[in-house]
Amino acid sequence: MNDIKAERDYYRRQSDELGQQILRLQQELTEVRKDVRRSLTINSLILKTYNLINSDVSIESIENHFFQAIMSSMSADRILILRYDEAADTFVSEFDPGSRKDIKPVIKLPGKVPEFLFVNSGTAPGSIADTLCSAIETPYILWTFNRHEGIALLIGNKTEDKIFRFPFEEKDRSIVESSLSVFIDIVKRKEAEKALLKSEGRYRRLVESSPESIFIFSDNKLNFANNAGIKLLGAENPDEIIGKQLQDFIHPDDYETMMDFITEILEEHCETPLTERRFKKIDGSVVDVDMVAIPFTFKGRAAVQIVALDIAERKKMEEEQLRIQRIESIGVLAGGIAHDFNNILTGILGNINIAKTFSDPAGEALRFLNNAEDAANRAKGLTQKLLTFSRGGTPLRTTASISEIITDSVNFILSGTKIRFEYIQPDDLWAVNIDVVQFRQVIENLTINAHQSMPDGGLLTIKAKNVEGKTEHTLPLEDRMYVMVTVNDQGVGIAKENLQKIFDPYFTTKDRGSGLGLATAYSIICKHDGLMTVESEPGHGTTFFIYIPATNEKPEIIIKDIEPPKAGKGRVLVMDDEEMVRNVAVEMLGSLGFKASAVRDGQEAIEAYIAAEESDNPFDAVIMDLTIPGGMGGEDAIIQLLKIDPDVKVIVSSGYSNNPVLSDYSDYGFMGTITKPFSLKELSDGLFGVLKI
């Protein structure tokens, strides 16, 4: 019996131990299952989170997906993402997918913010855990805080049902921390992408609206052109140019240099300095540009971005300025020659005039004197042309209407030719302030040029209209009123290589001609504060554009007379540095009935005038040369004479001047002007206009 009992006890103990082992095994299996489940949960959550990295969704959608992944993987009921406001020491909810998603709770913790916290049961009132449980209204929470990013994740679980849900444990920390870190990285990346897209949008709008032409080339092909670039290349839409080779848009002579630039940019990752190049439009024409090129990335590929500015108008303005400077340089020489030549002509013409008064009207000598006078007058006209290049020769302006000047000048030149003439202007055409003689010369020269370009006849059209300087923004004009005159012919046109030379003195392509016609016209317009430009194409005629400053004043009415020189009486003092001019002026004045004396400079003139006053035999008028090399000229002498006699009658005389005294003589105290070389009639008219005899 004892043996049986002992054996039974043995087997009972063995059974109990086996039961305990089975129970422990069951418990271990349960833990293993939980660990496996947690491991699967972690892997599933991490996988779901990482799948959001490349998803093409918004940040809000990523938050939704992340919350759903957390809640489904961890059997959570509530979840909040909070940002830490360090200044206020509070957490503000960014998103709440629960029933209170329209509410953004603000949480202030009663103590130091924990990096990690999990709660499986009720907590003491007032504690941090209690505060968090109250905020999310659940007895089970898991809290993790990324202090560096200032972001916290608060997860809540309301039930203890271990079949479908399980309370949080410290092991869950790895799940949440890993997922939160990945989520933060994804959001930051998406925010950066969003900012980049926004920046790219702004950049594209800026590029498209830029007045500069912007191009992107990669693999030697044009991949992008903004609106200005499309227009620069002569296209109407991008399809005409996108995808074409670089060489299609670069002047052949510049292509090799451009390729060197691009190679250097791509290899050295540097940018080029501002440089001038020639681009080629789709129609084959060439446009000058200033450009810079920089390295660029276009759709993930190495590229070059080129920013170009059309400088055609700027070059046109520069050429106009260079032409003006060239004319002024030549004018220094021309003015000096004209001054000396006019003094000589004064002696020649004056002596001829005097000789004619002593000649027998029926004699043979008078015929030769008339021929000599005609030749001298032709030489006088040549010096007037030379004066237009000088810094002197200031226009003697009057307010005039150009209509009659244009029609009279053109009809005079074209009389008896095969060329038809048409003049068009508005009824309200503004008046202009011009030297009528010089402006007439401009029209005559342009008409002669048109006549020579249309040997078989054609139509010459001249139009005049009112314009504001600001409307012609591409030309070097001031912001004021202008009358624009266009002179268009149907002639042979001008070759491109000659177009920039036609205003140069002595340049001509004609068998007959001095090359001074257009140069004279150009210089005259410049001296009127205006501008002359030209457009021409071989076989399609030529158009000249003239801009003359307009005025609101009414045109003056000028009445010309053809009376012979008047005889008079009185004393006249002549001051000139040239002995020949002094002698002939005294003789001419004597032939007109005046008693004349002559001196060399202003100082002698002052002394002579004072002596005459003191002798009670004063001078009735004084004729003074404006410029005296090495001595006192008329401009300085008149100041002293006016102090001696405020009523002194002084006439200024000059064949060349580098100041505006001749055109504005009254502003300097003079009462009249006589231009050398002068005839007896001109001398007589000048004196009688001052003396009022």
Q: In sequence order, what DSSP letters do the residues of 421-448 get, joined into one string?
A: EEEE--TTPPEEEE-HHHHHHHHHHHHH
Cα distance between residue 606 and residue 628, in whole Å: 14
Burial 615-636 (b: 16+ CB within 10 A, else e): eeebbbbbbbbbbbeebbbbbe
Which is more confident, 2 or 83? 83
Question: Which segments of 31-72 are extended strands (E)?
Answer: none
**Can you give the three-state secondary structure of 381-426, one letter per residue?**
HHHHHHHCCCCCCCCCCEEECHHHHHHHHHHHHHCCCCEEEEEECC
Asked whether the beta carbons of 622 and 593 are under 8 A apart, the reply is no
Domain contains 276: yes
Q: What is the pLDDT of residue 270?
A: 82
Average pLDDT of the residues in 8-27: 61
Asked whether the beta carbons of 675 and 646 are under 8 A apart, the reply is no
- Among 120-124, 424-428, 643-647, 651-655, where is mean pLDDT lowest? 120-124
> Quick one: 543 and 509 in the same domain?
yes
- Report the phi/psi class of residue 97: left, alpha or beta, with left for phi > 0 and alpha for psi in -120 to 50: alpha
Average pLDDT of the residues in 63-78: 73
> Quick one: 132 and 218 in the same domain?
no
What does pTM read for this prediction?
Answer: 0.42
> Quick one: 127 and 215 in the same domain?
no
Is residue 31 scored above 80 in pLDDT? Answer: no
The pLDDT mean for the chain works out to 78
Which is more confident, 241 or 16? 241
Domain contains 561: no
CATH number at residue 659: 3.40.50.2300
Q: Write out the two tokens for 527.
A: 């001296």
Domain contains 479: yes
Q: How many domains does the chain have?
A: 4
Which is more confident, 650 or 178? 650
Tell me which residue range forms the domain holding 276.
210-310
> Quick one: 432 and 526 in the same domain?
yes
> Quick one: 158 and 227 in the same domain?
no
Domain contains 454: yes
CATH number at residue 257: 3.30.450.20
CATH number at residue 503: 3.30.565.10
Q: Which of 658, 674, 652 is nearest to 392 (CA)?
A: 658
CATH number at residue 172: 3.30.450.40
Domain contains 439: yes
Cα distance between residue 574 and residue 652, in whole Å: 10
Q: Which of 551, 580, 604 is the last residue of a domain?
A: 551
Q: What is the pLDDT of residue 630?
A: 81
Cα distance between residue 303 and residue 233, in whole Å: 20
Which is more confident, 229 or 391? 229
Alpha carbon separation from 486 to 395, 413, 414, 438, 600 (Å, rounded): 22, 18, 18, 17, 48
**pLDDT over 70 percentage in the chain:** 74
- Among 84-98, 471-485, 499-513, 679-693, where is mean pLDDT lowest? 499-513
Per-residue pLDDT of 485-539, as tens digits, reads 999 999 888 877 777 777 766 555 554 444 567 777 887 888 888 888 888 888 8
Domain contains 374: no
Q: What is the pLDDT of residue 344?
A: 80
Cα distance between residue 190 and residue 208, in whole Å: 26
> Quick one: 505 and 534 in the same domain?
yes
Q: Write out the two tokens for 10.
A: 């043995």
Domain contains 518: yes
> Quick one: 134 and 247 in the same domain?
no
